[in-house]
Amino acid sequence: MWHKIQTSFKHFSELVAFEHTIFSASFILIAMCVASVEVNLSLWVGWETFALCALALISARNFAMGFNRLCDRDIDARNARTKNRPSVDGRISARSIAIFCVLNALVFILVSAMINSLAFVLSVPFLAILGGYSLMKRFSSLAHLVLGISLGLAPIAGVIAVAGAVPLWSVLLACGVAFWVAGFDVLYSLQDIQVDKQEGLFSIPARFGVKRSLWLSRGFHCCAVGLWCGFAYMADLGALAWIGVGLSACMLIYEQYLVHKNFANIPKAFFVANGYLGFVLLACIIGDGAGRLGGL
């Protein structure tokens, strides 16, 4: 019995690529830290708020990934890169995935209600956006930006949990996340350009070709850095936070260089550069906040 539970957990963790939660986790923590410094004059938001935000993040992402895998089962089965996913090879049935999505959606709504009224009101619209990516790519190249917006909701959720409002700096931070994610998703989609053309999917690489896609990805990342500069300015952050933004820009340049040099570097650029970026910026934000609080 215990072995069966462990196996199921392993399969569902693989289904949603649980380790990729770090992409969203770093930015929800950034928003929570900045908001807490403003509202509570402390970097720490308290265990209750932290736990509720963690549950909200995990359940929302589980819903989004599960729904995406459910919608893409047929397409993934015809793609050599994805044909061994648990949703395709029979390890997890379509019915089980559907139940998984419903349960996680309900958990997200319940946790949102426990956070505050604004979080609860926005919970269903948030879920609609999260599920929209799986459908958008079937008729619009804006799907990459929809995915970006989905991850950009994380810092918005974080500031709502702490402050019960959505200040301008959090919108700039979230928009920066949206363009950051869209930029690296365009690069990641270069791996599936032929499959997307065969399946009639509207990815940017399939529609605009490799060269234009690379330039669009660079443009998205330039927008991300610009918006994060706006976030740092509007939140009145200090020098260490600005250093964090600068380091993030350098990491995006490195990511673009890796992919430009060789498409075989896409997994490295996707998982390593992006994984470090959020936590480097988070560390700088925490250090900046601690320094500013120490000066009060």
Amino acid at site 1 = M
Mean pLDDT confidence for 28-53 = 95
Q: What is the pLDDT of residue 132?
A: 87
- Residues 258, 273: contact at Cβ < 8 Å? yes
Q: 153-183, pLDDT tens digit by residue?
A: 999 999 999 999 999 999 999 999 999 999 9
Superfamily for domain range 2-294: UbiA prenyltransferase (1.10.357.140)
Contacts of 185 (CB under 8 A, 6+ apart): 144, 147, 148
Is 80 exceeded by the pLDDT of residue 1?
Answer: no
In this prediction, residue 68 has a pLDDT band, given cuts at 50, 70 and 90, of very high
Average pLDDT, the chain: 92
What are 87-116's pLDDT values in tens digits? 999 899 999 999 999 999 999 999 999 999
Contact (CB, 8 A) for 92 and 15: yes
Q: Is 262 exposed, middle or buried (0-12, 13-18, 19+ CB in 10 A)?
A: exposed
- Give the residue-averaged pLDDT of 64-73: 93
Report the distance separating Cα 256 and Cα 150, nearest Å. Answer: 22
| CA-to-CA separations, 63 to 16, 57, 104, in angstroms, rounded | 9, 10, 5
